[in-house]
Amino acid sequence: MSLSVNAFISANLLQISNAKPSFSGDDFIKILPELIVLLTGTVVMLADLFLPRDRRPILGYVSILGYAGAIVASSFLFYYSPPAGVPNTSFGGMFVRDNFTTFFEITFLISGILSVLVAPNYVLKRNMPIGDFYNIQTSAVLGMMVTAAAGDLMVIFVGIELISISVYILTGFARNDRGSAEGALKYFLLGAFASAILVYGMAWLFGMTGSTNLNEINQAIITTKGLKEDIGLTFAMLLLIVGLGFKIAAVPFHVWTPDAYEGAPTPITAFMSTGPKAAAFAALIRVMVQGLPQLAEQWTLIIAILAILTMTLGNVVAIAQKSVKRMLAYSSIAHTGYIMIGLAAFVNNPQLPNLQRDAIGSVLIYSLIYVFMNIGAFGIAIWVQNKGGGIDVDDFNGLGSWAPVPALAMAVCLFSLTGLPPTGGFFGKFFVFRAAIDSGLTWLVIIAALNSAVSAFFYLRVIVAMYFRPASEDVKTRNQPTGAFFLSAAMIIVTIAILFLGIYPGPALDLAKDSAGQLFQVVKIATGQP
Amino acid sequence: MLSVMTYLPLIGAVLILVVPKNNDLIRWIALLTTFANFVLSLILIFTFNQNVSGYQFEEKADWIPSIGAGYHMGVDGVSVLMVLLDGLLFFLAIIASWKAIQTRVREYYFAMLLLYVGCVGVFVALDFFLFYIFWELVLIPMAVLIGVWGGSNRRIYASVKFFLYTLVGSLLMLVAIIALYFQYTDVTKKASTLDIPTITNELAKAGGLSTTFQYWAFAAFALAFCIKVPLWPFHTWLPDAHTEAPTAGSVILAGIMLKMGAYGLIRFNLPLFPNASHDFAPIMIVLSLIAIIYGAAVALVQPDMKRLVAYSSVSHMGFVVLGLFSFASGLTLDKKGNELNILLDNRQAFDGAVFTMFSHGLLTGGLFLCVGVIYERLHTRDIKTIQSTLRIANRMPAYASIMMLYTMGSLGLPMISGFVGEFLVMQGAFRVNGWYAFVASFVIILAALYMLWVYQRVFFGKAEDYDLAFVDARIQEAEAISNAHGGHGAEHGAEAHDEHEHDEHGHEEHGHGHGHADKDMLRNGAKLPDLNLGEWFTLYPMAAAAIVVGIFPSLVLDFLGKPAEQIAHAMTSGAQHATIINVDLVALVQQLIK
């Protein structure tokens, strides 16, 4: 039995490694969502050239339509299974189409749609070129999708760079704003540095194992004697954690985050704190779980320690912030920490499939919920800014009385970020904690729980400002209606999604767990464990 | 039935959000909703079968199968009493806020009904996940009630403090719930679940959890519940929250939310962690004794009537914890096979604890309503101020008599419910150790002291006490504070002015007061009207209930027979026999007293 399986596996691997770069129709089905997004980006870019300036906002509809089409395509791909004997990879193992990919793709696309929805008023008011905005954003989303689907270090690098470069541009999008330029420059310089570390780590890993394909790397570590204990491999792993840690904004690689998040135009901040972060997590999971599961004991410990630092620093520093935007920037660092707990809960023991699925599944579901709640919070911040107010906590004073509906949406998002039931944020935390406790990280969970209590403190400040404090004098003058149809739509979607994921998370959870399960299927086939 | 009771207020709340802005309509919706629920709770208690052990009116459905969370509701003897208390107190609280709340009426009743959902849900949920959701759900509306309709300028502080205190405890409890969830599978080798009865029963069958785990989980659960009860030294949020909360908020807070903590101890700590309950019992008992004495002693010196009642709550809730852990310390394994009987021998302690929970809901709820009555008229709760101007007993005889009744009940006069509970608890404590009962009974003297003293000062202020200069000084002080208070003053300055004009026309239409006393009323008590219809209606039925259960305690106690047996059974079969430690209680207490 095992012989035949092995034969099958080696045949499989042979096929992967010797595959010529020839495309079949099947390959194109697998990358259909990516193609749709690419097409959308191209259409937006071209149309932007020919449309008169005042007609360009309709490009938003094109973007949304494109993303929605990609979501539909992705959803169908949940039910896609390759013909028997054919691997679910394409382009010579470069691109993996499993449910893990698909789940993340949908997360990214949702973050794309929501950011398109929250952007228009803000961007138009400040005379930023809206067509370019949509166009660059599509390329970032494309980068994220490619990253999640990567079966090879090279693809991960290409994807990450595609995201990073797009987001550098977007950060500096407010050309006349000093903060924006400062944030973009800092982000770019540090980001370039991190990319260099990342690619160095990849090179090192290639040198140690002789391959850039994640499955082959794993295979090589298993089969080559002494490689697992090799210090060089650990070094490569550390470099990769540093490089990707920068992209997810884990402490101590987070220093760019507050400035970039605060400097960037708020819709961009909403976008870059959700989608690209989730994409970097996808890359981290691909590299660590698919490529280096043999080193799990080492990297889960490192991730756990980084998670503690990340949560604690994010939450503690957020308390001191006056600006809601900067507070949300630090809170997004803290949430990176929570997500990392899910990853730290991974155990490289195929005998415990449930545990593995829960660990990675918790990362998936948390990322999805996080997209909703964070863009929601930023969305209301944008709304307040659009009204001509600033973005300090004081600008939210009395929002509950002069704008009850946005205040309610903000409250839902903030309670969700705090992790209170019955919101999605609570369920996300619950599931992350559950996975971590299952793999024996109770101490980590206790720290995380205390951190949540700390975080309640600063989220509550906004709630207090909104509901308990009277509105300031100038509210009447700035309370002019602006046609915020897109923004309202986004907020309605977000609020409903948060509550739905909080009250009836079953289906989404099953999907996440199933998607994580497929990742392990890939790992299993690669390592020859039936 | 239980689901209807839980979600009916939610429907009411949504209705309140969508109806046109008409304050009376909103009030009527809230009133009818709570009345319907009160009727349902009466039906529930009358159809409840006291002689059946286990849960009744169960509802079960799948919810999130992949984590083992189900939608499971049901009531046993303890929770059915709490649900009745829910129904009664919310109904009365809505009546009590009829005139008291004039600002942001829609939001107020929305928050109130949302709170109701959580308060019913906590007592009927039989699934950890569901329980936790309701447990946290009560936080937000309560914090909003305190923060928006609260009293003085400390209300935001009080609201945030309340929120954070409770949240810290709950989060650690969440960790413990998840840990328990995995431990359950490890111990019983059964499919993982979050269903509370299943976990309790299966663990009891399998011989219980390991002692170490019990200790940790007990600590996490007990922290959450002790903060809520609140047990000394976790009580500091309570006086602030009570002082700032609107009257109805205080009633709910004291009458129901404090009970949630004690209920949690009964439902989770005792049956799930029997060894820990037994081994930690001395600590818990000592803490509860400290709470009993400390609450009473601090109540003695409070200048504010509401704060006084709040501290007396700390003292009374100490009795509940004392009773529960006196019951738990009965768990011994000296005589093998007889544990169940030994434990049940001390059933009085358990009965007394639950009875105190019920009667405290009635009596303290009533006391807060009484304080609300006087506050609405005078806009002050300062005992000295009231004493210096008025002899309320003459002007408001009906009010004076009903307050007398609540005062007597609260200090433990026989024939009123307060006595029964405390007596049973002390009897139970005595069986464990005479010293416990001695210390606790000592407090009855203190209770008589603080309750009667405040009564005397407020109602029988003598002519020689009258000191209008003092009153004027206090009024000016209060006005200065409320005006100096930042943007708040700017908004409410005008409003306060309006209030004065209204008063001159003899109207009773006040918004939430801002801690500044009403000059006219205080100077000239002639305008002080006695209880109005709404107040009659809120104060008298509750007093009647307190007397009825005071005279016929078996009305309540009959509900507790089966739950006590059930818990005793779970405790004895879930205890780790080999590792039980018998703490020498006498030596410990003697040492502590020294």
Q: Which residue of B has its CA nearest to A514?
A: B66
In the 8-state DSSP scheme, what is residue B381?
-
Whether B17 has its CB under 8 Å from any CB of chain A: the answer is no
Dihedral (CA of A438, A441, A443, A444) sign: negative
Q: Which amino acid is at B362?
A: L
Contact present, A59 and A48 (Cβ < 8 Å): yes
Which pLDDT does position B149 carry in this prediction? 84
Read off the tokens for A479. Answer: 């309370």
Partner-chain residue, chosen from B156, B164, B175, that has the shortest CB–CB distance to A445: B175
Report the percent of chain B where pLDDT is more than 70: 82
Which pLDDT does position A110 carry in this prediction? 94
Burial group, residue B561, by CB count within 10 angstroms (0-12, 13-18, 19+): middle
Contacting residues of A for B63, CB less than 8 Å apart:
504, 506
Q: Is the pLDDT of residue A193 over 80?
A: yes
Contacting residues of A for B139, CB less than 8 Å apart:
420
Q: Is the pLDDT of residue A40 over 80?
A: yes
Stronger pLDDT, A365 or A391, i.e. the higher one: A365
**What backbone phi and psi angles, to 5 degrees, belong to B199?**
-60, -45
Whether A505 has its CB under 8 Å from any CB of chain B: the answer is yes
Buried/exposed code over B364-373 (b: 16+ C-beta within 10 A; e: otherwise): bbbbbbbbbb
Instruction: Express each pLDDT in A408-431 by its tens digit.
Output: 899 999 999 998 888 999 999 999
Which of the residues A434, A458, A466, A476 would you substitute to probe the B interface, choosing the one with the greatest number of B C-beta atoms within 10 Å?
A434
Which pLDDT does position B582 carry in this prediction? 52
| Mean pLDDT across A383-391 | 80
Beta-carbon separation of B171 and A450 below 8 A: yes
Nearest-angstrom CA–CA distance, A469 and A464: 7
Alpha-helical runs (H) found in B379-416: 383-387, 392-395, 397-411
Q: Of A234, A255, A243, A256, whose CA–CA distance to A188 is shortest?
A: A256
Which of the residues A450, A463, A475 would you substitute to probe the B interface, choosing the one with the greatest number of B C-beta atoms within 10 Å?
A463
**What backbone phi and psi angles, to 5 degrees, belong to A303?**
-65, -40
Count how many residues are written for chain B.
594
pLDDT level of residue A372 (50, 70, 90 thresholds)? very high
Q: Which residue of A has its CA nearest to B213?
A: A442
Residue A437 to chain B, least CA–CA distance (Å): 6
Whether A301 has its CB under 8 Å from any CB of chain B: the answer is no
Burial group, residue A83, by CB count within 10 angstroms (0-12, 13-18, 19+): exposed
Q: Which residue of B has its CA nearest to A465?
A: B156
Beta-carbon separation of A431 and B171 below 8 A: no
Nearest-angstrom CA–CA distance, A258 and A422: 30
Contact present, A285 and A274 (Cβ < 8 Å): no
Neighbours of A27 (CB within 10 A): 15
Q: Is the pLDDT of residue B336 over 80?
A: no
3-class DSSP state for residue B485?
coil
Give the orientation angle of helix B533-551 with respect to helix B417-432, to 10 degrees: 40
Look at A121-135, A384-398, B27-41, B452-466 and tell me which has the smallest mean pLDDT: B452-466
Q: Which residue of A has its CA nearest to B62?
A: A506
Contacting residues of A for B494, CB less than 8 Å apart:
none
Contacting residues of A for B107, CB less than 8 Å apart:
400
3-class DSSP state for residue B268?
helix
Q: Of B303, B302, B420, B308, whose CA–CA distance to B360 is shortest?
A: B420
pLDDT level of residue A481 (50, 70, 90 thresholds)? low
Contact present, A264 and A184 (Cβ < 8 Å): yes
Which pLDDT does position A410 carry in this prediction? 92
Contacting residues of A for B64, CB less than 8 Å apart:
504-506, 509
Neighbours of A69 (CB within 10 A): 17
The C-alpha angle A274, A185, A129, rounded to 5 degrees, equals 70
Which pLDDT does position B539 carry in this prediction? 86
Which pLDDT does position B486 carry in this prediction? 41
pLDDT level of residue B488 (50, 70, 90 thresholds)? very low
- E strand or H helix at B37: helix B23-47
The C-alpha angle B83, B86, B90, rounded to 5 degrees, equals 155
Q: Is the pLDDT of residue B500 over 50?
A: no
- Among B residues 472-531, those touching chain A with beta carbons less than 8 Å apart: 487-488, 490-491
Which pLDDT does position A6 carry in this prediction? 47
Q: Of A445, A446, A281, whose CA–CA distance to A370 is shortest?
A: A281
Look at A352-366, B399-413, B475-489 and tell me which has the smallest mean pLDDT: B475-489
Q: Is the pLDDT of residue A344 over 90?
A: yes
Contact present, B78 and B351 (Cβ < 8 Å): no
Q: Which residue of A has its CA nearest to B168?
A: A453
Q: Is the pLDDT of residue A10 over 60?
A: no
Burial group, residue A254, by CB count within 10 angstroms (0-12, 13-18, 19+): buried
Which pLDDT does position B247 carry in this prediction? 87
Contacting residues of A for B65, CB less than 8 Å apart:
506
pLDDT level of residue B190 (50, 70, 90 thresholds)? confident
Beta-carbon separation of B178 and A452 below 8 A: no
Q: Of B236, B108, B228, whose CA–CA distance to B161 is shortest?
A: B236
Which pLDDT does position B468 carry in this prediction? 65
3-class DSSP state for residue B304?
strand
| Mean pLDDT across B366-375 | 87
pLDDT level of residue B191 (50, 70, 90 thresholds)? confident
Whether B186 has its CB under 8 Å from any CB of chain A: the answer is no
Which pLDDT does position A106 carry in this prediction? 94
Contact present, A164 and A127 (Cβ < 8 Å): no
Which pLDDT does position B524 carry in this prediction? 56
Give one DSSP letter per residue of A298-332, joined into a string: HHHHHHHHHHHHHHHHHHHHHHT--BHHHHHHHHH
- In three-state form (DSSP H/G/I as H, E/B as E, the rest C), the secondary structure along B133-191 is HHHHHCHHHHHHHHHHHCCCCCHHHHHHHHHHHHHHHHHHHHHHHHHHHHHHHHHHCCC
Which of the residues B63, B161, B167, B492 would you substitute to probe the A interface, choosing the one with the greatest number of A C-beta atoms within 10 Å?
B167
Contact present, A376 and A498 (Cβ < 8 Å): yes
Q: Is the pLDDT of residue B50 over 90?
A: no
Count how many residues are written for chain A.
530
Nearest-angstrom CA–CA distance, B335 and A463: 57
User: Cis peptide leading into A52, omega within 30 of 0?
Assistant: no
Instruction: Express each pLDDT in B288-335 by its tens digit.
Output: 999 999 989 998 888 888 888 899 999 999 999 999 988 888 776 554
Residue A509 to chain B, least CA–CA distance (Å): 8
Which pLDDT does position B462 carry in this prediction? 66
Nearest-angstrom CA–CA distance, B260 and B253: 10
| Mean pLDDT across A325-353 | 91
Look at A63-67, A526-530, B158-162, B570-574 and tell me which has the smallest mean pLDDT: A526-530
Beta-carbon separation of B174 and A430 below 8 A: yes
Q: Is the pLDDT of residue B480 over 70?
A: no
Which pLDDT does position A202 carry in this prediction? 94
Residue with tokens 């720290």: A447
Nearest-angstrom CA–CA distance, B95 and B112: 12
Residue A473 to chain B, least CA–CA distance (Å): 9
pLDDT level of residue B184 (50, 70, 90 thresholds)? confident
pLDDT level of residue A187 (50, 70, 90 thresholds)? very high
Contact present, B16 and B106 (Cβ < 8 Å): yes
pLDDT level of residue B586 (50, 70, 90 thresholds)? low
Report the percent of chain B where pLDDT is more than 90: 12
- Among B residues 96-135, those touching chain A with beta carbons less than 8 Å apart: 104, 107, 129, 132-133
Whether A510 has its CB under 8 Å from any CB of chain B: the answer is yes
Whether B65 has its CB under 8 Å from any CB of chain A: the answer is yes
Q: Which amino acid is at A171?
A: T
Longest dimension (CA), chain A: 79
Instruction: Express each pLDDT in A133-150 by its tens digit.
Output: 999 999 999 999 999 999
Nearest-angstrom CA–CA distance, B394 and B230: 37
Beta-carbon separation of A445 and B178 below 8 A: yes
Buried/exposed code over A255-285 (b: 16+ C-beta within 10 A; e: otherwise): ebbbbbbbbbbbbbbbbbbbbbbbbbbbbbb
Instruction: Express each pLDDT in B14-26 by its tens digit.
Output: 888 888 888 888 8
Look at A108-122, A347-361, B220-234, B329-343 and tell me which has the smallest mean pLDDT: B329-343
Whether A457 has its CB under 8 Å from any CB of chain B: the answer is yes
Read off the tokens for B140. Answer: 């937000």
Beta-carbon separation of A464 and B148 below 8 A: no
Residue A422 to chain B, least CA–CA distance (Å): 6
- For chain B, what is the mean pLDDT? 81
Which pLDDT does position B411 carry in this prediction? 85
Which pLDDT does position A523 carry in this prediction? 77
Q: Which residues pair with B304 in a beta bridge?
A: B382
pTM > 0.90: yes or no:
no
Instruction: Express each pLDDT in A202-249 by its tens digit.
Output: 999 999 898 888 888 988 888 888 888 888 899 999 999 999 999 999
- For chain A, what is the mean pLDDT? 86
Which pLDDT does position B117 carry in this prediction? 92
Stronger pLDDT, A481 or B274, i.e. the higher one: B274
Which pLDDT does position A1 carry in this prediction? 38
Read off the tokens for A198. Answer: 């990342």
Stronger pLDDT, B583 or A82, i.e. the higher one: A82
| Mean pLDDT across B93-107 | 83
Which pLDDT does position B467 carry in this prediction? 64
pLDDT level of residue B99 (50, 70, 90 thresholds)? confident
Contact present, A495 and A190 (Cβ < 8 Å): no
Which pLDDT does position B509 carry in this prediction? 35
Beta-carbon separation of B64 and A509 below 8 A: yes
This complex has an ipTM of: 0.86
**For chain A, what is the radius of gyration of the CA atoms?**
22
